[in-house]
Structure 1
């Protein structure tokens, strides 16, 4: 369904460790040793990272010889609105760099802004705006870890329109500034 979503292996790994149900249906976790595939939100014991493969399409994971998990039942839709919410999440993931307003997202989904926000919050416990901010901060963390871009460059690269908003959202989600986050990462690497 959403095979053009841009997730790194590490981002998907973090989502399954957090049992994040917002990503159910966007990708599937396949465990090489058990030949079972699951939703990202599956509460079963987590596999070793080296034994995991990710698939964006249920048909492909089944063609690769994996069978569905009996606990999380990834082949079954659990909510009538989940497909709509998945499409909205896919849109947010693929367009996070853009200056998206609620109306833009609602137009994409073919819904009124009010109904979109209510439906999205019902399924994810978050508004589309807070969800988009989390995507942007996840991308910022990835860039802080993997590049030498400045905080200002990262701010604009991940779609924030102002540095002050970037710092505010980063601090609220990570309990530190981007600079301190990078320093802590460097200290951890130096300590190894």
Structure 2
């Protein structure tokens, strides 16, 4: 979980962001239940939350699976592929990745990977990677005093023009406008 801070994971569970399902689990200390980031159950107080990278870690810490989001339910082979690709993208978002690199990691053809990923998530691996980068940039804009150019490269973008274009496409505002909100 070196790729996400506590606050970033908190933002994902507050938004019920299903694109992070399988990458980490939310455990509520008061109920002793762990959930997926996308769980629609009532949100706990921030001080009552721990995050775990895997289900066995959560179970070992004494938590049981949520009956609503069923984080322990098995995944189909397609979802296993998508989960491993999502995890790869989260770990390597700073690198200049192309679809072939991602397909090589997954051991499938680029066409098959893109088709399966889009079918499961309604977005391409590139769009998912850009979303990770924009999420990272938005977090840095809110919580640091780094310049937009420093954030551009820290978030894994290869050029400022691409950073501004993708940021505006995803969040419908410029990085400066986002910081000033």
TM-score range (shorter-chain normalised) is over 0.9
TM-score (structure 2 length as normaliser): 0.94
Instruction: Give me the CA root mean square deviation.
Output: 1.4
Question: What CA distance in whole angstroms lies between the structure 2 residues aligned with 1:21 and 1:8?
Answer: 18
1:8-157 counterparts in 2 under 5 A?
8-157=5-154
CA contact (8 A) 1:5 1:93 kept: no
Question: What CA distance in whole angstroms lies between the structure 2 residues aligned with 1:24 and 1:158?
Answer: 21
CA contact (8 A) 1:22 1:86 kept: no
Structure 2 gap segments, 5+ residues each: none
Aligned residues: 181
CA-CA distance at 1:78 after TM superposition: 4.2
Q: 1:182 to 1:22 in 2, by over 3 A?
A: closer
Q: Secondary structure at the match of 1:81?
A: helix
Q: Secondary structure at the match of 2:77?
A: coil
Q: Secondary structure at the match of 2:137?
A: helix
CA-CA distance at 1:106 after TM superposition: 0.4
CA contact (8 A) 1:97 1:159 kept: yes
CA-CA distance at 1:146 after TM superposition: 2.3
Cα shift readout 1:61-96 (whole Å, capped 9, x = no counterpart): 111111111111111124332121111011101111
Larger radius of gyration between Structure 1 and Structure 2: 1
Question: What CA distance in whole angstroms lies between the structure 1 residues aligned with 2:88 and 2:2?
Answer: 9
Question: What CA distance in whole angstroms lies between the structure 2 residues aligned with 1:22 and 1:183?
Answer: 27
